[in-house]
Structure 1
Amino acid sequence: MRTQVLYKSRTGNTEKLAKAIFEAIPGKNKDIAPFQGQTDYDMGDIYFIGFWTDRGSASMDVLDYLGSLQGKRIALFGTCGMGQSPDYYKKIEDNIRVFIEDDNEYMGAYICQGKMPMTVREKYEHMKNSSNKKQVEAMIQNFDMAMLHPDEQDLQGARKFVKEVFEKIEKEEQENG
């Protein structure tokens, strides 16, 4: 079984997760690479596809690649600026998952908070006025919390996710003889 980790990282957050995921994958038959418009759809039997989140989804090139995979086991991982929001993480997962063709086996997703560029905080500061002050201050507070992510706890969560994916595969293979 070959395992391929492909990731798209704009600020380094998803790359951190990708490295933790790669290290947690058992065995030596594995590879890791940044996503750069690859068109090879047979780099592995199991794919861990990483993304950064923009407006609740992944970039179009990652989505196109996902849509081109056939007969693979696919696990997703990603980062987004919004923290501590399992409902939002699930929405992101659902938005991306629809691009995975039915002949693939979907293995789940791991999404955590990631720091954002300082330009985002500056944008929030400029948006603030008397009518939206409370909402914008909450956005700035979230931004400030995100500066520490992904942290060690997030990386541990990614490693745990890999373990769960491989336990699921092992169980399936035992059941199917």
Structure 2
Amino acid sequence: MLDYLVLYQSETGNTRKLAATIFSRLPGNSKDLIDITTDKTIPEAKIYFIGFCVHQGTCSMTVSDFLSSLSGKQIALFGTCGMGDSPEYYQAISCSVSAWIESDNQYLGSFLCQGRMPQQVRKKYETLRTPENAEKMDFCIRNFDNALTHPDSLDFEHAKVFVDRILKLIGDGVF
């Protein structure tokens, strides 16, 4: 059994980059980094860091099914979302995704940050823009433009702080 397993699902590469940062921050050699969509052989671990890309405020069925299958584990979540830089929105996502974690597991917390979106998303916003929804679509376009550089170096530093906090909590016996 591994000490740590970093599992992730990434469509645009944003969550994969966070997963690599989290993996590199974990101590020792008893760890693995796995793309949950391509590798169907998933080893047992004591602590799972599970990453996802956000769609409509939650994770994919692949991730929720995996979360639901775990029993007696320590689980930390991380993810990226295009709409972002809102602590309230990130909290709502964390609540939505952590609801899939069975009660016999220990939920350690979550880290979310903004991620770059494909150009077709911006084009969709531009196409959908009308005089009636101009304010909302302009907000979405500004958000898209702000997301182009994410995850950035500060997001990666925050991911490292998240890992350090989880390791300290576990080491201090809080969980």
The TM-score normalised by the length of structure 1 is 0.94
- Helix, strand or coil at the partner of 1:2: strand
Moved more, 5-14 or 36-45: 36-45
Partner of 1:17: 18
Unaligned runs of 5+ in 2: none
Q: Which amino acid aligns with 1:8?
A: Q
C-alpha displacement of 1:83: 2.0
Alignment check: 8 A CA contact 1:41 1:68 kept: no
User: Distance between the aligned counterparts of 1:19 and 1:149, measured in 2?
Assistant: 15
Alignment check: 8 A CA contact 1:41 1:69 kept: no
Map 1:3-152 to 2 at 5 A: 3-36=4-37, 42-152=43-153
User: Distance between the aligned counterparts of 1:43 and 1:154, measured in 2?
Assistant: 28
Q: CA RMSD in A?
A: 1.6
Q: Percent sequence identity over matched residues?
A: 45
| 1:27-64 residue CA offsets vs partner (Å, 9 max, x unmatched) | 11110010127666652100000000000000001100
User: Distance between the aligned counterparts of 1:165 and 1:2, measured in 2?
Assistant: 13
The TM-score normalised by the length of structure 2 is 0.95
Unaligned runs of 5+ in 1: none
Q: Runs of at least 4 residues of structure 1 off by over 3 A?
A: 37-42
- Give the total of aligned pairs: 174
Q: Which amino acid aligns with 1:164?
A: R
Alignment check: 8 A CA contact 1:73 1:105 kept: yes
Alignment check: 8 A CA contact 1:39 1:65 kept: no
User: Distance between the aligned counterparts of 1:87 and 1:79, measured in 2?
Assistant: 14
User: Distance between the aligned counterparts of 1:41 and 1:148, measured in 2?
Assistant: 32
| 1:51-90 residue CA offsets vs partner (Å, 9 max, x unmatched) | 0000000000110000000110000000001121000000
User: Distance between the aligned counterparts of 2:129 and 2:83, measured in 1?
Assistant: 18
User: Distance between the aligned counterparts of 1:170 and 1:117, measured in 2?
Assistant: 40
| 1:97-150 residue CA offsets vs partner (Å, 9 max, x unmatched) | 110011111000000000001110000000111111111111100000000000
